Amino acid sequence: MRLSVLCVLFLLLISACRKEEVITTDSSAKLQFSADTILFDTVFTSVGSTTRRLRVYNRNENAVRISEISLAGAGSSAFRININGQPVDKASRLELAGGDSLSIFIQVSINPGSAALPFIVADSILFSTNGNRQAVKLRAYGQNAHFLNEEVIRGNVTWDRQLPYVVYNSALVSKGAKLTIEKGARVYFHKGSKLLVAGTLDAQGDVNDSISFSGDRLEQIYSDEPGQWGGIHFLRESRNNIMQYSRIKNAVVGMRVDSLSNNADPKLILSSSIIKNMEVAGLLLYNAEVSGFNNLIYNCGQFLVYGAFGGRYNFKQNTFAGLNFSFPRQTPALYFSDHYSPGGEVQTAALQISLVNNIIWGSNDDELALDRKGNGTFSLVLQNNFIKSKDSSFGINGNILNVDPLFVDPRKGNFRLKVASPALNKGLDLRQDIHFIPYLGLDLEKNMRIFPSELGCYELN
């Protein structure tokens, strides 16, 4: 009896093994794929891109033998494939069990070329099975670029719009040097990279031809991902910086300014620009001097504007939107203090703030914080702003507290005002302001300011 049982078990085992080893030659037994096209978004010349994965499925009951998997472009292809952990140009006689799958990992590397415009690199992965020939398309959008690795900029240098600029680690505008960035230029930063300015940065775009600063990962999944690069840092020696019609996104900190101006002009004039998706702060300011007009700043992890250890700040006609659909922020959108505590010792400095015709709104109860610990010089001009705050002392001089400004669609980044917005026609007349003609006479979209103006960066004409 024991011998009979063992024989039956042995026959069952042999039968099961033989069943798994049955390889069909039926031409209808085709492979299936997780995608018919593998798309790589913009890939900078000589940099390469993220790895993509293709899943290959055998939905048949029996195993199939894949005669060959290969790149149509073979050794000249810009793409490389990895099958079962092996980097190959092609693989032959692979058996894929019924109901099983395998993964193919794909990378692309584009060699430097002279093309200034975006170009498409194409290839296919070919599969031969039971006389069938199937293909999965590979598509990469590539572009040539200027690459800067720990670059030191001396003298007067201009970055134009012809090719994008890709910064690795850092680019430093040295003391006394000036970097001019022309309208339409694109500046991309590799992970953790920064633009350091000890000299002067002049970046003036236009409403339909802005200057962009962002990370160098242009795949769709990274389009709104914060923390991809370090940001723009204006050092103590820097002076006379102007940024207008610029778009800064997806950094740790959008812009950091470390000191007061060393001449009669602000250290930084920021006008008609958009700062968004910062991991920590849009503007990080330490005893600095910054003027901001017609800007939109939104979706930052902790602060839209953080100004510590005093400073001189002049913000007019800006929209500060701390609605934070991506971050669980609990700090105020705008924070200003007269103190700093290096090593636990409190130091204070003079603080001058002018906030006029702004929208300071967000998801927290208090979106404007003034934190004073010293008895030094303090000056505050707070007029005609929409403010989200429980501090009733802010509700004078034309300021309106805790009334929804009615943005068109903040979840989609549209902070224009609805026609029923209570922020319409509430602005103080700024025609006598010294910055009216160069910066305040037009809104973020170059619409003429008509007073009493709308609050914030958009005028509803």
pLDDT in the model for residue 19? 47
pLDDT in the model for residue 4? 52
pLDDT in the model for residue 218? 83
pLDDT in the model for residue 118? 64
Return d(Cα 440, Cα 326) in angstroms, integer. 31
Strands 132-143 and 37-44: parallel
Confirm if 271 and 293 have CB atoms less than 8 A apart: yes
For the chain, the straight-line distance linking the first and the last C-alpha, in angstroms and rounded, comes to: 97
Read off the pLDDT of residues 130-146 as tens digits, 9 standing for 90 and up: 999 999 999 888 778 89
pLDDT in the model for residue 86? 85
pLDDT in the model for residue 9? 46
Predicted model pTM: 0.86
pLDDT in the model for residue 301? 95
Beta bridge partners of 158: 180
The CATH label, of 2.60.40.10, 3.90.1150.10, 3.40.50.970, 3.40.50.720, for the domain at 22-142 is: 2.60.40.10
Amino acid at 17: C
* 90-95 contacts, C-beta under 8 A, 24 or more apart: 91/66, 92/67, 92/68, 93/65, 93/66, 93/67, 93/68, 94/65, 94/66, 94/69, 95/23, 95/63, 95/64, 95/65, 95/66
Distance, CA of 274 to chain centre:
12
Q: Give the residues of the chain that fall short of pLDDT 70.
A: 1-21, 48, 111-119
Confirm if 317 and 440 have CB atoms less than 8 A apart: yes
Return d(Cα 461, Cα 449) in angstroms, integer. 8
438 phi and psi angles, rounded to 5 deg: -75, -25
pLDDT in the model for residue 5? 44
pLDDT in the model for residue 417? 98
